[in-house]
Amino acid sequence: MRTSSPNDFDLFVIGGGSGGVRAARMAAARGARVALAESGALGGTCVNVGCIPKKLYSYAAGYAEAFEEAEGYGWHLAEAPTFNWRHLKAQRAKEIGRLNEVYLNLLNGPGVRVLRGHARFVDNAHTIEVNGERHTAQHVIVATGGRPFVPEFPGREHALVSDAMFDLEPFPKRLVVAGGGYIACEFASIFNGLGAQVTQLQRRAHVLTGFDEDLRHFVAAEMVKTGVDIRFNVQVSSIRRDGAELVLMLDRGQDLRADAVLFATGRVPNTEGLGLDAAGVQLDEKGAIRVDAQYRSSVPTVYALGDVSTRLQLTPVALAEAMVVVDALFPDPKRRAGPRQPPDYDFVPTAVFTHPNIATCGYTERAARVRFGDDKITVYCTEFKSLRHTLSGRSERTFMKLLVENDSDRVVGLHMVGADAGEIVQGFAVAMQAGATKAHFDRTIGIHPTSAEEFVTMREPSVG
Ligand code: NDP
């Protein structure tokens, strides 16, 4: 075994996903000697089997709705449009391949040494082995992300995880989706839009645990309108193959037949096989790396960010965390504002790309009442058919909700179900981060005619 000289690198990043690549390239750009190890494709879950391909497929699904709606606007499609799944997959693969190259160039540009292989700590918190070669580093960032979790049950081997959905062959005419979270709802919407008959099974009485209650009810009703068969309070007991079909037994005793079954039942951190024991890095009860407010693990020179640590599993959060660590380790003298501080986790905006989309920023109504006091919150809600659907023939409705903390008048929660919700809420998230009050919202002139203007024209609090 060859061991290179001590302190080969100022920073060694394990994992080439969103957070890892950001940290490595920014540190290298500031003159640090940086290595990054990745055993899979560069870009991690987000680029390869997550956000990016998911959004492309969501766009693909959206065309089915657009074709239907076009008739109401005077368009006549001479023939029924047909969908070519193989073409979509090939297009996606081409774009993801391009992004992999972009990521490699982002690392090569500032001089990051990219090591293609599995990395693990050996002996101590400064020595990392990749492909039989040992490297030493002053600081290490672990950014290895997470992977899908599937519970144990008979026939578990027949369950697919989200990674496998992008290249599925053939296209499943009947898809069962187990789970009610982000991934389950998004894939149920996507495959429904692309023409599959989708049944979604959620073990609780509602989808999207943790989101605002009104929003959860509203989006489920809208998804059902689009054709997703959502069933609540039900779980899969077993799956068996019967010829070309899969037969699912449900805990209520019924059975269901499907061509494919997706389990989107959460994700777990990738902390196995990294030698974290050797480094002395402690994990929490879920197997995630325990970090402090500055993303330091129990070993002060080892940091963890993104899905492998204990915070939110969202790409932009991993990017923000990466910048905090880089600023702390390799300060940018030109940055007048000083080192970046951790993001405000209470006001992280997020979207779920269901059809229609969900987006949200700040507290849910329940969390706001707990945090500020039950009688300290004023709720504003509106629900309407958007202008687009007056002619489209679609019965889709839009929902918006604002939560205002009475003492400060600050808008502490903003929730939306409707077209382009992610695009709309991103802008409002800036205002909320800046501490915008309801009075600021009221003084803001709407852009007419848009759905977004409803957020600045809600005058009367909701009753009950
Ligand atoms: P989530 O935690 O969002 O949802 C998991 C779902 O699986 C929940 O409905 C949960 O039920 C259910 N579940 C968990 N265990 C079981 C079980 N044993 N049997 C049956 N059902 C079970 O996880 P996802 O996998 O959907 O996504 C992981 C994370 O990835 C998200 O939390 C999000 O942070 C991120 N993500 C973000 C996206 C975005 O920004 N648009 C898109 C996709 C993922 P219950 O409700 O009862 O807990």
CATH number at residue 241: 3.50.50.60
Note the pLDDT tens digit of each residue in 153-178: 999 999 999 999 999 999 999 999 99
Phi, psi of 330 (to 5 degrees): -135, 75
pLDDT of residue 464: 67
Asked if residue 161 lies in contact with residue 262, where contact means CB atoms within 8 angstroms, the answer is yes
Could you tell me if 8 and 136 are in contact, meaning their C-beta atoms sit under 8 angstroms apart? yes
User: Structural domain tally of the chain?
Assistant: 3
Q: What is the pLDDT of residues 80-124, one digit of tens each?
A: 999 999 999 999 999 999 999 999 999 999 999 999 999 999 999
Q: Give the other-Cβ count within 10 Å of 400's Cβ.
A: 24
Which pLDDT score, from 0 to 100, does residue 91 have?
A: 98
Q: Which of 245, 265, 285 represents a domain boundary (last residue)? A: 265
Backbone angles phi, psi at 343, to 5 degrees: -65, 165
Which residues of the chain register pLDDT less than 50?
1-6
Tokens coding 286: 């879920």
Is the CB of residue 306 below 6 angstroms from any atom belonging to ligand 1? no
Q: Is position 367 within any domain?
A: yes
| Ligand 1 atom nearest to 184, measured from its CA | 26
pTM value is 0.96
Q: Residue 291 has what pLDDT?
A: 97
Enumerate residues 6+ apart whose C-beta is below 8 A from 338.
none
The verdict on residue 25 lying in a domain is yes
Task: Determine the 3-state secondary structure of 381 from DSSP.
Answer: strand
Report yes or no on 205 lying in a domain: yes
pLDDT in the model for residue 252:
85
Same domain, 134 and 182: no
- Closest residue by Cα to atom 24, ligand 1, is 266
- Ligand 1 atom nearest to 352, measured from its CA: 41
Rounded to whole angstroms, the Cα distance separating 253 from 413 reads 41
Instruction: Identify the domain boundary among 250, 265, 280.
Output: 265
Which CATH number belongs to the domain containing residue 387 in this structure?
Answer: 3.30.390.30
For ligand 1, atom 14, name the residue with the nearest CA.
265
Q: Give domain status of residue 334, yes or no.
A: no
Backbone phi, psi, residue 262, to 5°? -100, 130
Measured in Å, residue 18 CA sits from the centre of ligand 1 at 20
Q: How much is the pLDDT for 189? A: 98
Same domain membership, residue 142 and residue 273: yes
Query: Which atom of ligand 1 has the smallest separation from the CA of 180?
Result: 9
What confidence score (pLDDT) does residue 131 get?
Answer: 97
Q: Which domain holds residue 14?
A: 9-57+85-147+268-329
